[in-house]
Chain A
Amino acid sequence: MNDTVIPIAKMGASKQRKRQAPKGRNVTPAAMAEVEALVGKEPLRHDLLIEYLHLINDRYKQLAAPHIAALARLLGLAQTEVYEVATFYHHFDVVKEDPNGAIKAPAALTVRVCDGLSCELAGAKKLLERLPELLGREVRVLAAPCVGRCEQAPVAVVHQKPIANATLEAVRTAVNAGDTHDEPGGYIDFDQYLKQGGYATLRDCVEHRRDVESVIKTMEDSGLRGLGGAGFPTGRKWRIVRGESAPRLMAVNIDEGEPGTFKDRVYLERDPHRFLEGMLIAAWAVGISGIYIYLRDEYHGCRALLETELAKLRANPPAPMPKIELRRGAGAYICGEESAMIESIEGKRGMPRLRPPYVAQVGLFGRPTLEHNFETLYWVRELLEKGARAFASHGRHGRKGLRSFSVSGRVKNPGVKLAPAGITIRELIDEYCGGMLEGHTLYAYLPGGASGGILPASQDQIPLDFDTLQPFGCFIGSAAVIVLSNQDTAKAAARNMMKFFEHESCGQCTPCRVGTAKANTLIAGERWDAPLLAELSQVMRDASICGLGQAAPNPVDCVIKYFPNEVS
């Protein structure tokens, strides 16, 4: 039975209010002037809605209802069309008028503490408990889903400044010092990249020293698969999209949000132009007329870096380039899903589309779209320069290629490990991570972030690669490996993951929206109702629209399958 609710009569407009103005919220001249000053008087574009919201949110530290109304007016949109987008993204603080029509002032500063699994293992809960008191009322402390710095766990982000291996003291120091921005540095910039022979391959392509067919063939032969997690063969994707009618668009996914994954950020922070060159080669090979790079909002340093380097690139293009737009996410894991990302780039709520049609045919703005994960493009240059066999010559246990594992959790040296595909968890920990942390022994591991399931230490001989984990109810996804030890439980990990999925579900379809919530209730107890969870899991897998809902039951199913003693 539902909780009883005492009906509180919501008030409609009073007679006096009706006399004053037409129905609904009217736009105030003050808000109009403020918003106009931020977004400019250029013809506004609906697809840039999220960018405009960022401008307002950055400037006023919140999105006040009068500003939303003014923006809607400027865009020629209904107020709800802006409101529903603003409220979809966690990084927008939408604030409405109080009963007196006043807007509450925003918090002076926001500190976000990552509560992803790796950070939770490293003590995020303590930070979340203690920080509010320590930092005082002026500072708002929020839990945030994985911020993509798992190798630095626990992580707190002071406004936009990430604090690695955060302690109470480190956070307080940053807050007091006003150290709130992430300044990029120490990477190979445009000039250095050019000096090191960068963009020569792109020029070879554009200046006809390479032909499209041979480039696509090399990609096909290299065996490179989409490294965002789905693993679609890259060369084949290029060929398919190239076969669609022009204009064709490209979308680059740097919404790296899968808990445990941080490889894209690490590579981007080191060598951004390697990625940009790969992107431009792909655009050339496929015949792309516009590129949209979608970067997750949490990567503030990367954004600054990309803005700087893209400006240099545009100022001095090594070859004719299509239009490139950098788009900023706003706190939504689901926007890493390819069609949700497209919706978001179009300025909408990031809700995955039903397929077919596939984005290769009907994607961004209804056009055929080549969508790639950052890392896939990052390797393009190397493969073209070294040949299709450059990767295929690596591999273990019968698998071929190289994988960038984001390793975090209870290991000595977490980080991005470029290792042979097919490596086992033991080999990865021992050879690449310096072994387990002192006092910890391997208990379980997540081979593919939050969605890839949980395996027990006893399953330590499985080659980690595409297609090898499915028989075990798992998948490798973005190769985010989180290592649990004898001090952890799989049950707690599963709860962390399911909470994450509930938090990040877009809410579109019943199995995921309701299923993740019901699953959380069911796994909150010590003893789990395994048959009911199995039924729930099946409908989520079978009937959810996108991969989020389809994979969300993986951790829970794995606990029931591999760790039954924890929950019975």
Chain B
Amino acid sequence: MNAITRFEREEADASSVTFLLDGRPVTARQTDTLIEIADREGVQIPRLCYKPGMDAVGNCRSCMVEIKGERVLAASCCRTPVKDMEVTTTSERVRKSQQLVIELLQSDMPEREYTRHNEVDEWAVKLKVGKPRFAPRPAVAPDYSHAAMAVNLDACIQCTRCVRACRDEQMNDVIGLASRGQHAKIVFDMDDPMGASTCVGCGECVQACPTGALMPAREVALTKPDKSVNSLCPYCGVGCQLTYHVKDDHILFVEGRDGPANHSRLCVKGRYGFDYSRHPQRLTVPLIRRADAPKRGEFVMDPNNVMQIFREATWEEALDLAGGALAKIRDTHGKKSLAGFGSAKGSNEEAYLFQKLVRTGFGSNNVDHCTRLCHASSVAALLEGIGSGAVSNPVMDVTKAGVVILIGANPTVNHPVAATFLKNAMRNGTKLIVMDPRRSELARTAYRFLQFKPDTDVALLNAMMHVIIEENLVDPKFIADRTLGYDELVKNVSGYNPDLMAPICGVPAETIREVARLYATSSGSMILWGMGISQHIHGTDNARCLIALALMTGQIGRPGTGLHPLRGQNNVQGASDAGLIPMMYPDYQRVDNKDAKARFAKAWNVPESELDDKPGLTVVEVIKGIIAGNVKGMYIMGENPAMSDPDADHAREALAKLDMLVVQDIFLTETAYLADVILPASSFAEKTGTFTNTDRFVQIGRQALNPPGKSRQDLEIIIDLGKRLGLSWSYGKGEAAVAAVFDEMRRAMPSIGGITWARLQAEDSVTYPCVKEGDPGDSVVFIDKFPTPTGRARFVPADIIPANERPDTNYPMVLITGRQLEHWHTGSMTRRSGVLDSIEPDPVASLHPLDLATLGVKPGELITIESRRGKVSLYARADESSPHGAVFVAFCFYEAAINKLTNSALDPFGKIPEFKYCAVRIAKGGKTPVQASYGGGQILSPNPAAKV
């Protein structure tokens, strides 16, 4: 059950027939292939090109069977039974044919093995094929141009499993079958070296290859693993299940598992971005800042020279110092003088315990995490409008939708595996409408691509609603039965005639009308969005418009409809659910709600008076609080605000001002560099915990490696630091502690109340809401009511608010920030992963080629981008995906930290900064970005000293 095959729908209600299989009557569905039936019946038929989940193509001809009355043999992978058909799988004719096909292929196999499981050889053994009697074909040279994969076409049998993996499953459309006959050849793009092609490195082809013609680079898969651990991908919110193959406490390679969100697929990060956990720069001992190393916000850091700034310490000393200093600040300056940033990369248990530490140990609600920087505005709008911040339908529902609007999101880069299911849906007839100022890869195959001008979301969406109302395409019953505030909305959008909005958003009025009609009238329409919606000062308004669209057309509450903000981090959903946000306890119980406060005081066994009843400070507010002198001590776990916060220089200055900064991380991040105490923690693969993906699947990640040196698992560190703050928790140790924390969580959080640790262990993934034990879990919610006090959803009208900082003559261009496929967030993990760093080694700014020409800059030359807040120099990349007048930069490059330029102006509701829009100017030339001891492709470079 891998790819969504073209025939899946037809198969659903096929009738059954009875036929003879090797003389035995067998009954099967008419749409089942003979090979599927044979497998079920325990009849062994060889196969090479056939792989369950892929379209059967019948080219290898190893699965031939005899059908009575037919002149030639039939490929059992492509034939279906008809009544009274007589199929023979064991005759001499069949056996000889199968053997000879295998012999022909084997005669061309190289002597060298490329995989431990060559399916041609395995079938040759099973079918007792002797030494091949045919002369081999001329050999071909290997292609080792890609950092992650080796191409050995001398082992290729042209079965096209890789082609189907690339084109039908992942739909990256890189691999082709070129030429013909004996010369038929698997190619990348136009028979280019794999490493020079458009290959995005998902590795699906390697996973599909039966002979090792495509294999992981550097022969890692030829080693037999000590163990294989079923776990999760540590990167994005898609939540792919995978298996770590481990030897000698190192991960050898990774394979996709058939999880509900990925069906065995992975992307380049999930498949190849695992080696950061064994990077030599891992923090392995607790560190304390040297007395002679003052903190400065402006710095150039080299993680190789930690000891100039820090000294080693024992865990006791480090924890005593950290906990003691924080307790002292609390007791001297008050509870609100402390703040904590937890992490959306940590587990649910860590997030839960972290917020519990802040709320009961620090005594305030000053706890937040990077959700503030990604979907805070979406969550604010969702909570206000429909009473829940989570998605209404899983990503996989796009396969059931007639129309999908994808706005302000670039899933081929940021949610690559989810994007593959979107592409599959498109092939099956779903109309995808991409709306984005940037031309993303999905625009190529989308039904419509609306390249609206940056910052004009509300104008575009209100114009769509105008059309839907004007043409009476609304769902009056849904509006009447399930919503409030429709009249105000109607009044508000009446002024947004598409003819008036067209010049504002740069989309023809007729196109706006067409997509509005499509969305409103399809049998099921779904909206997916990303940070292009949320990271504006009007991010909440943007999301309000999307919600209103769904409500007025009734496109919510059914399969294939609904609202899906694509969550960024692997556990940003779970961390928010667990209360790692300043205004809510776990399960979105408001801290200023008396009942909620009472309940949690009881659950946590603290006096009610000990709990703060005012919402705490958000991420950017904490930074401002430090500058103002109100916040003096911080505990930051697994976050890197010195890189990820807007106006990063300002954020760094603030962090440097703290009296005590405790950082818990796996590397010396830019934030850790400003710490007083560093607590060396565990990477994803070094611990067990649960993680909640974008679809509300609570999934279990299992420990595959040991934490290196003296580093410890995060949960243990939180518990130990809690002790120093007077919290005497007794959760036990290791996995038992994880289970104990989870159990406490589920008792405190009704939405996951029915999920037990034992069930997670058994099933690996359970969907919430799952209120009672044994509940299946609801993947589609809001079917008959919304979780609001009235059970109704609310329309909230929005008007155009321009960006906080518009381009002007001094700063004439727009800066859009985001991420790139290979690099995660601030790059601390991925730039220490050999493959990923090798594929994208350098900081680049993407500009439209014509803009580059205007600037007189050649592609690849240095440019300097400057805003009112800072400047960076990096390489100019000619990229047509960028709109005219805008430059796109990912924030993963420490040597060109683009957040030094971004604007910290906030959305008033979500408190999210405007990462997607600020004014900059660009000049040719600049200082060459200095890459210290990591990044720049150093790990896989044959000559690590080579910098170019």
Complex Cα gap A315–B184 (Å): 43
Q: Which residues on A sit within 8 Å (CB–CB) of B178?
A: 80, 83-84, 87-88
Q: Which residues on B sit within 8 Å (CB–CB) of A507?
A: 158, 177, 179-184
Q: Is A332 an interface residue (CB 8 A)?
A: yes
Closest chain A residue, CB of each to CB of B850: A29
B197, A23: Cβ atoms closer than 8 Å: yes
Q: Nearest-CB distance from A515 to chain B (Å)?
A: 6
Which of B195, B841, B881 is the one whose CB lies under 8 Å from A11? B195
Q: Which residues on B sit within 8 Å (CB–CB) of A78?
A: 173-174, 176, 189, 198
User: What 1/0 flags go to A322-358 for Cβ under 8 Å of B?
Assistant: 0000000000101000000000000001000010100
Q: Nearest-CB distance from A246 to chain B (Å)?
A: 20
Q: Is B860 an interface residue (CB 8 A)?
A: yes
Q: Is A135 an interface residue (CB 8 A)?
A: no
Q: Is A503 an interface residue (CB 8 A)?
A: yes
Which of A10, A22, A94, A541 is the one whose CB lies under 8 Å from B72? A541
Q: Which residues on A sit within 8 Å (CB–CB) of B718?
A: none
Which of A25, A96, A515 is the one whose CB lies under 8 Å from B104? A515
Closest chain A residue, CB of each to CB of B941: A15
A539, B100: Cβ atoms closer than 8 Å: yes
B181, A502: Cβ atoms closer than 8 Å: yes
Q: Which residues on B sit within 8 Å (CB–CB) of A21?
A: 859, 877-879
Q: Is A177 an interface residue (CB 8 A)?
A: no
Complex Cα gap A1–B190 (Å): 30
Q: Which residues on B sit within 8 Å (CB–CB) of A332?
A: 180
Q: Which residues on B sit within 8 Å (CB–CB) of A83?
A: 176, 178, 187, 189-191
Complex Cα gap A518–B881 (Å): 49
User: What 1/0 flags go to B834-856 for Cβ under 8 Å of A?
Assistant: 00000111101010010000000
Which of A17, A87, A509, A521 is the one whose CB lies under 8 Å from B134? A521
Q: Nearest-CB distance from A426 to chain B (Å)?
A: 31
Which of B57, B175, B197 is the one whose CB lies under 8 Å from A24? B197
Task: Determine, out of B140-148, B400-408, B458-466, B790-798, the stretch whose residues face the partner at the interface.
Answer: B140-148
Q: Which residues on A sit within 8 Å (CB–CB) of B181?
A: 502-507, 513, 516-517
Q: Is A565 an interface residue (CB 8 A)?
A: no
Which of B59, B61, B133, B180 is the one whose CB lies under 8 Å from A349? B180
CB neighbors of B among A53-80 (8 A): 65, 68-69, 76-80
Q: Is A16 an interface residue (CB 8 A)?
A: yes
Report the interface size for chain A: residues with CB under 8 A from the other chain.
75
Q: Is A457 an interface residue (CB 8 A)?
A: no
Closest chain A residue, CB of each to CB of B843: A19
A9, B144: Cβ atoms closer than 8 Å: yes
Which of A12, A84, A88 is the one whose CB lies under 8 Å from B196? A12
Q: A5-B141, A10-B144, A80-B190 are in contact. Are A510 and B179 (CB under 8 A)?
A: no
Closest chain B residue, CB of each to CB of A78: B173
Q: Which residues on B sit within 8 Å (CB–CB) of A522?
A: 134
Which of A6, A15, A65 is the one whose CB lies under 8 Å from B842? A15
Task: Determine, out of B105-113, B245-253, B584-592, B719-727, the stretch whose residues face the partner at the interface.
Answer: B105-113
Q: A502-B181, A514-B104 are in contact. Are A3 and B78 (CB under 8 A)?
A: no
Q: Nearest-CB distance from A12 to chain B (Å)?
A: 2
Q: Nearest-CB distance from B78 to chain A (Å)?
A: 5
Task: Determine, out of A224-232, A278-286, A434-442, A543-551, the stretch whose residues face the partner at the interface.
Answer: A543-551
Report the interface size for chain B: residues with CB under 8 A from the other chain.
87
Q: A2-B154, A513-B184, A541-B72 are in contact. Are A79 and B100 (CB under 8 A)?
A: no
A25, B189: Cβ atoms closer than 8 Å: yes
Complex Cα gap A25–B138 (Å): 29
A22, B877: Cβ atoms closer than 8 Å: yes
A-B pair count, CB < 8 Å, reads 245
A25, B190: Cβ atoms closer than 8 Å: yes
Which of B62, B93, B188 is the one whose CB lies under 8 Å from A510? B62
Q: Is B662 an interface residue (CB 8 A)?
A: no
Q: A509-B59, A511-B101, A539-B100 are in contact. Are A518 and B107 (CB under 8 A)?
A: yes
Closest chain B residue, CB of each to CB of A94: B190
Q: Nearest-CB distance from A486 to chain B (Å)?
A: 33
Q: Which residues on A sit within 8 Å (CB–CB) of B189?
A: 24-25, 78-80, 83
Closest chain A residue, CB of each to CB of B60: A510
Closest chain B residue, CB of each to CB of A532: B133
B141, A80: Cβ atoms closer than 8 Å: no
Q: Is A459 an interface residue (CB 8 A)?
A: no
Q: Which residues on B sit within 8 Å (CB–CB) of A65?
A: 190
Q: Which residues on B sit within 8 Å (CB–CB) of A183?
A: none
Complex Cα gap A34–B195 (Å): 28
Closest chain A residue, CB of each to CB of B64: A543
Q: Which residues on B sit within 8 Å (CB–CB) of A79?
A: 189-190, 198
Q: Nearest-CB distance from A77 to chain B (Å)?
A: 8
Q: Which residues on B sit within 8 Å (CB–CB) of A541?
A: 72
Q: Which residues on B sit within 8 Å (CB–CB) of A94?
A: 190
A510, B104: Cβ atoms closer than 8 Å: yes
Complex Cα gap A423–B139 (Å): 50
Complex Cα gap A332–B188 (Å): 23
Which of B108, B142, B147, B948 is the one whose CB lies under 8 Å from A12? B147
Q: A26-B878, A88-B178 are in contact. Are A12 and B183 (CB under 8 A)?
A: no
Complex Cα gap A283–B861 (Å): 62
Complex Cα gap A518–B182 (Å): 10
CB neighbors of A among B770-784 (8 A): none
B948, A508: Cβ atoms closer than 8 Å: no
Q: A24-B197, A507-B181, A515-B104 are in contact. Are A84 and B860 (CB under 8 A)?
A: no
Closest chain A residue, CB of each to CB of B100: A539
Q: A13-B196, A542-B97 are in contact. Are A81 and B176 (CB under 8 A)?
A: yes
Which of B154, B176, B881 is the one whose CB lies under 8 Å from A84? B176
B73, A542: Cβ atoms closer than 8 Å: yes
Q: Is B96 an interface residue (CB 8 A)?
A: yes
Q: Is B937 an interface residue (CB 8 A)?
A: yes
Q: Nearest-CB distance from A438 to chain B (Å)?
A: 39
CB neighbors of A among B310-331 (8 A): none
* Most chain A CB atoms below 10 A, which of B138, B184, B197, B445: B184
Q: Is B602 an interface residue (CB 8 A)?
A: no
B180, A518: Cβ atoms closer than 8 Å: no
Q: Is B898 an interface residue (CB 8 A)?
A: no
Q: Is B444 an interface residue (CB 8 A)?
A: yes
Q: A12-B194, A538-B97 are in contact. Are A510 and B59 (CB under 8 A)?
A: yes
A19, B877: Cβ atoms closer than 8 Å: yes
User: What 1/0 flags go to A524-568 for Cβ under 8 Å of B?
Assistant: 000000001001101101111100001000000000000000000
Q: Which residues on A sit within 8 Å (CB–CB) of B948?
A: 15-16
Complex Cα gap A219–B154 (Å): 53
Q: Is A20 an interface residue (CB 8 A)?
A: yes
Q: Which residues on B sit within 8 Å (CB–CB) of A101?
A: none
Q: Is A4 an interface residue (CB 8 A)?
A: yes
Q: Is A130 an interface residue (CB 8 A)?
A: no
Q: Is B434 an interface residue (CB 8 A)?
A: no
CB neighbors of A among B184-220 (8 A): 184, 187-200
Complex Cα gap A511–B60 (Å): 8
User: What 1/0 flags go to B62-75 for Cβ under 8 Å of A?
Assistant: 10100000001101
Complex Cα gap A510–B104 (Å): 8
Q: Nearest-CB distance from B600 to chain A (Å)?
A: 49
Name the 3 nearest CB pairs between A and B, nearest first. Answer: A12-B195, A507-B184, A24-B198
Query: Can you pick out 23 interface pairs between chain A and chain B where the beta carbons lie within 8 Å of each other?
Result: A2-B110, A2-B154, A7-B141, A12-B194, A21-B879, A22-B846, A22-B881, A24-B198, A25-B189, A78-B173, A80-B175, A83-B187, A83-B189, A83-B190, A94-B190, A349-B180, A354-B58, A508-B158, A508-B184, A509-B58, A514-B105, A518-B107, A536-B100
- B interface, CB within 8 angstroms of A: 57-62, 64, 72-73, 75, 78-79, 93, 96-97, 100-101, 104-105, 107-108, 110-111, 133-147, 154, 157-158, 173-184, 187-200, 444-445, 839-842, 844, 846, 849, 859-860, 875-879, 881, 936-937, 948
Additional pairs, 13, CB under 8 Å, beyond known A12-B195, A24-B197: A10-B196, A12-B196, A16-B948, A17-B860, A20-B859, A20-B877, A20-B878, A80-B175, A84-B187, A509-B58, A513-B181, A514-B134, A543-B97
